[in-house]
């Protein structure tokens, strides 16, 4: 099987960590590098968290690059109330091999696009690094294969305002720049689909029945996140946004959507809103694929089977009972 090369740009972050686990454990993907931006946590903390996930999987050979520290225009606002002061549920795991963290995330993106063919980017945080890379060397993106962005909201309320989703709200200027300048459609994995992906206590209980090394880590980092979801959204469980972007990259049938023109609002009360021109008011060329439906059971089955190999039948029975 041809493994698809990906750069994962992220802001780890609890759901970013779960997405990294999925990508690392999926034989269809070759994670050629991880670039980090500020978002859920400041960028250097995020880079350490990415390294912690790699160390857990024995994959610290995958390079981790520090990217942009602040958004293009706005002041940085993090989400440590959601992900914990350390970005991983306040477990404050020790960082091993910190010296492996590299500088120059933006330069790494453009150099990798130019030097390796058919590289895709899966962006799980604010789009600051991607926008900066486009500004620096737009021609490099002619070599880009596909671009997936977890971000935005179409017909569902935001999580930072009535209309804005966190990644695009943190750096709306970067988000809009990417939608206007990327020479590829943005596959938007927004809250319309990710809110349907809930890791429940039942599923966590099930994971802990599998004598797998990841169970403890997943249980530990999601505890804080589940508490936040109860307090803020009144749900039992936690929405794991980012893993869906990785799963969708591997299996397009997970989601259904449509092509449209998208603009991201950069100022004012609607700052960070992804304006989806689904009825073509602006008569502008489509620049995105908006995903609006997802088979949540199919996702959860893929997610669990990639992380916990050898438990396929058990996973099928649990998912069947959802
Ligand atoms: O709005 C959810 C997104 O913002 C997720 O990617 C989460 O990790 C945060 O980055
Ligand atoms: Ca994220």
Provide the residue-wise pLDDT of the chain in tens; the chain has 322 residues. 789 999 999 999 999 999 999 999 999 999 999 999 999 999 999 999 999 999 999 999 999 999 999 999 999 999 999 999 999 999 999 988 899 999 999 999 999 999 999 999 999 999 999 999 999 999 999 999 999 999 999 999 999 999 999 999 999 999 999 999 999 999 999 999 999 999 999 999 999 998 677 999 999 999 999 999 999 889 999 999 999 999 999 999 999 999 999 999 999 999 999 999 999 999 999 999 999 999 999 999 999 999 999 999 999 999 987 7
d(CA 19, CA 144): 21
Q: Which of 8, 14, 16 to mutate to test the pocket of ligand 1 (most atoms within 8 A of CB)?
A: 16
DSSP reduced 3-state for 141: helix
Residues having C-beta closer than 5 Å to ion ligand 2: 11, 13, 16, 124-125, 242
Closest by CA position to 275, among listed 258, 257, 261 = 261
**Ligand 1 nearest atom to the CA of residue 242, by list position:** 6
* Residues recorded for the chain: 322
**φ, ψ at 102 (rounded to 5°):** -105, 160
Residue 38 CB less than 6 A away from ligand 1? no
| Ligand 1: residue whose CA is nearest its atom 2 | 166
Ligand 2 mean position to 313 CA, how many Å? Answer: 31
N-to-C CA span, the chain:
32
Domains in the chain (CATH in brackets) are 4-320 (3.90.245.10)
Give the closest ligand to the alpha carbon of residue 151. Answer: 1
Residue 241 in contact with ligand 1 by CB distance below 6 A: yes
Residue of 4, 7, 242 whose CA lies nearest to 107: 7
Mutate to test the pocket of ligand 1, among 36, 79, 222 (most ligand atoms within 8 A of CB): 79
Output the pTM of the full model.
Answer: 0.97
User: Exposed, middle or buried, 1 (CB in 10 Å: 0-12/13-18/19+)?
Assistant: exposed
Ligand 1 centre from 124 Cα, in Å? 7
Encoded tokens for 21: 């686990």
Report which bound ligand comes closest to the CA of 189: 1
Q: Is 124 in the pocket of ligand 1 (CB under 6 A)?
A: yes
Atom of ligand 1 nearest to the CA of 124: 6
- Alpha-carbon distance 295 to 290, whole Å? 15
Q: The tokens of 37 are what?
A: 């931006």
């Amino acid at each position: 099987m041809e493994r698809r090369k990906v750069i994962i740009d992220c802001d780890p972050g609890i759901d970013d960590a779960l997405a990294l686990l999925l990508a690392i454990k999926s034989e269809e993907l070759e994670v050629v590098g991880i670039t980090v931006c500020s978002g859920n946590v400041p960028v250097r903390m995020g880079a350490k968290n990415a390294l912690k996930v790699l160390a857990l999987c024995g994959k610290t050979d995958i390079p981790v690059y520090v990217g942009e520290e602040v958004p293009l225009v706005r002041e940085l606002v993090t989400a440590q109330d959601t992900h914990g002061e350390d970005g991983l549920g306040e477990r404050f795991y020790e960082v091993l091999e910190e010296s492996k963290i590299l500088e120059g995330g933006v330069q790494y993106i453009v150099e990798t696009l130019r030097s390796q063919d058919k590289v895709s980017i899966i962006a799980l945080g604010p789009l600051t690094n991607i926008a900066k890379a486009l500004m620096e060397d737009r021609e490099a993106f002619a070599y880009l294969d596909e671009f997936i962005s977890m971000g935005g909201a179409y017909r569902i309320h935001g999580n930072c305002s009535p209309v804005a989703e966190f990644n695009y709200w943190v750096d709306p200027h970067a988000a809009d720049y990417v939608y206007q300048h990327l020479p590829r459609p943005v596959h938007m994995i927004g809250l319309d689909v990710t809110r349907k992906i809930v890791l429940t206590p039942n599923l966590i209980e099930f994971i802990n029945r599998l004598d797998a090394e990841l169970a403890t880590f997943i249980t530990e980092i999601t505890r804080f996140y589940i508490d936040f979801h109860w307090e803020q959204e009144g749900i039992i469980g936690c929405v794991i946004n980012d893993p869906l972007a990785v799963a969708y990259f591997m299996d397009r049938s997970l989601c259904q959507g449509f092509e449209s023109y998208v603009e991201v609002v950069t100022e004012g009360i609607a700052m960070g809103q992804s304006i989806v021109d689904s009825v073509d008011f602006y008569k502008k060329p489509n620049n995105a694929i908006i995903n609006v439906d997802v088979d949540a059971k199919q996702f959860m089955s893929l997610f669990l089977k990639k992380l916990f190999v050898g438990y396929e039948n058990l996973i099928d029975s649990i998912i069947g009972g959802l």
